[in-house]
Each structure stands twice: as structure tokens, then as C-alpha cells.
Structure 1
Amino acid sequence: MSSTGLLELLSSPAVTNAAGLAGSVAVVFGVQRLVPTFDPSWYKQLKKPTWTPPNYMFPLVWIPLKLMQSVALWSVCSRAPSAAALALPLTAMGVHMFLGNWWNVVFFGRRQLKGSLPWMYAFWASIAATAATFYPISPLAAGLMLPTQVWVTIATQLNREIVQLNSAAA
């Protein structure tokens, strides 16, 4: 294959779309890796509501949610009419990813149960803001953020109840 043929192949829409999607997956999953792994024994010892999902459920839920967020990010980036149109949606997505990670640091890393609640509320709001900024560019992308909104609503209630049940440790 000639260098011209290779360049044409690499710049084809299929390859460009695949690279964009792979880049979005790398960003969404990569940002999560910035949070250190914390000792899970502390969480296991907390009093939790009876409806608390088993620990193995969290990655089973978060992995598909992160994949949907990746597709949403790719959809917005590939459909935006200009780079300037991406400023607000990418900022919202960045804030959303930061707040989700920061909640992990405060709750699991610093073990500040009560102190984690404002971060969880901000995280919840940032997902709604991300979906709202995605919608004008890609309604599909906004819709792909909604399952995360639902899960974080559940997680917020779980966080609140853990704080209440462990008020001496909060």
C-alpha cells in the first residue's frame, strides 16, 4: 500500500470515528484511574441500609455507565458544529468527571461521610448539567447520560442513609 493510500485509509470516516470513540473511552476510563484505590475494609464495616447493593454490583453498573458516557462524549465531539460549540459541553463533562472522582476521595479516601454529601449533590447536578449541554449538539448523547443520573440518584440516597446510620463516625 502506498503512503497516499495509507493516509486515505487513516483519514476515512470509519477510522476517524473509531479513533474518536477510542479516545473518548480512554478519557472517561482514564480519568477514573487518577483516583487511588482505597482500602475496602473500612466501607465493609460501615452500617448500611438493607437495600445496599452488594459490592460486586458497583463495577457491574459503572462499567456500562462509563461506556455510555464515552459514547456520549464521542457523539458530542463528532457532531459539534465548531470547536467553540464544544467549550461548555466539555467543561461540564470535565466538571462531572472531577466531582465523581473527588467524591470518591472524600468518602473513601478521607472517610468523611457527612463531608461527602455536598460533593455528591454537586456530582449529581453536574451530570444533569452535562446532559443539558450535550442536548443541543446530540440529543442521543444527552440521553446516554440519563442512566448515570439515575444511578447517582440511587447512590446519593445510599450516601445520605450511610451518613445517618453512621452519624457518630460522620
Structure 2
Amino acid sequence: MNRNWILPVSIASVAALGVATLGGTITDLGPWYEALNKPDWNPPRAVFPIAWTTIFALVAVAGVAAWRAAPNSRMSDTVIGLFALNGFLNVLWSLLFFRLQRPDWAFAELTLLWLSIALMIAYCNRFSRLAALLLAPYLVWVTVAGTLNWQIIKLNPAFG
């Protein structure tokens, strides 16, 4: 690995691990979550850590690719800002859904999370097709999560 990659890869790895760890510690799959009515197509519990680990790895690689491909420092700073905002929104969703036990608020916030991913893809695609492609599974997964979140709201009258 070229030495120019060491710092960005290290920072992206630590950031992705930090977001994943924080989101994971906020996520509580205890009695409240288990008692929620969920749609029949709800993925098995084992799917979530595999999907999120893959997504965070792809996001970290996409962030480095986009940052390195940015044609100037203003655009590379924008990449960092977009990824940081997205990390914040990702953790915020877990906080709203699991800690505050408000799937309805989480769904509203999830639209911002989804838009932040779409914005990252559009922005990064201007100079790194690779970064945009690596972010696509994240958008698909959050779309599925949003659909699941919406179904939980509909199936649980307290939130509807």
C-alpha cells in the first residue's frame, strides 16, 4: 500500500468503526423490540450485523476513494462533511428508534438519512464513479430498512 493511503484509510476505518460501535451500543433488541409487530418479511436477526458490517466497510472505502479523487481541497472537505453528516444521521436513527422507542420519529429522520446517502452518491459520482457504486448498496439497504420501519409503524397502532 502506498504511504499516501495510510492516513485516509486509517481515518476512514476509525470513523466507520466509531459509527458502527456507537450505533451498535444504542441498538437494543430487548423486550420492547421483540414485542413489536413486524412484517412477515422481516429479515432474520443474523442478517443485520452482516449487512451493516459490509455496508460500513464499503462506505469507508468509498469515502477514501472519493476524498482521494476530489479535484481540490474544497471538494475533499465537502466529501468529509457529507460522510460525517451521514454518520451522525445513521447513529441518530438508532437513538430515535431503539433508545427513545419512537419508530415514527425514526422514520421521519430516516428520510434525511436516505437523502444524505443519495447526496453522497450524486456528489461523489462527479469525480469518483467507484465511490458512487460502493455507496449504492447502502442506499438499497436503507430503503429496505425504511420500508421495514414504515411497516412497524403501521403494524403497531401506538405509532400510527
TM-score, scaled to structure 2: 0.91
* SS of match in other structure, 1:168: helix
Residue equivalent to 2:142: 152
C-alpha separation in 2, matches of 1:65 and 1:150: 10
Contact 1:76 1:137 survives alignment (8 Å): yes
C-alpha separation in 2, matches of 1:133 and 1:152: 18
* SS of match in other structure, 1:84: helix
CA RMSD of aligned residues (A): 1.6
Q: 1:113 aligns with which of 103, 109, 114?
A: 103
Residue equivalent to 2:29: 40
TM-score, scaled to structure 1: 0.86
Q: 1:138 aligns with which of 128, 139, 146?
A: 128
Task: Give the percent of matched residue pairs that are identical in Structure 1 and Structure 2.
Answer: 29
For structure 2, the residue ranges without an aligned partner over 5 or more in a row are: none
**How many positions carry a matched residue from both structures?**
158
**What displacement does 1:21 show?**
1.6
Instruction: Tell which structure's C-alpha radius of gyration is larger.
Output: 1
Contact 1:92 1:133 survives alignment (8 Å): no
**What displacement does 1:151 show?**
0.5
1:9-63 superposed Cα distances (whole Å, 9 cap, x missing partner): xxxx613324422321111221232343343212111110000001111011110
Determine which structure has the larger helix proportion and give its number.
2
**What displacement does 1:88 show?**
2.4
Is residue 69 of structure 2 the alignment partner of residue 79 of structure 1?
Answer: yes
C-alpha separation in 2, matches of 1:64 and 1:123: 18
* SS of match in other structure, 1:87: helix
Q: 1:93 aligns with which of 83, 88, 96?
A: 83
After TM superposition, the structure 1 stretch with the greater mean CA deviation from structure 2, 60-69 or 72-81, is 72-81
After TM superposition, the structure 1 stretch with the greater mean CA deviation from structure 2, 131-140 or 148-157, is 131-140
C-alpha separation in 2, matches of 1:38 and 1:98: 15
Q: 2:18 aligns with which of 30, 33, 43?
A: 30
**What displacement does 1:169 show?**
5.0
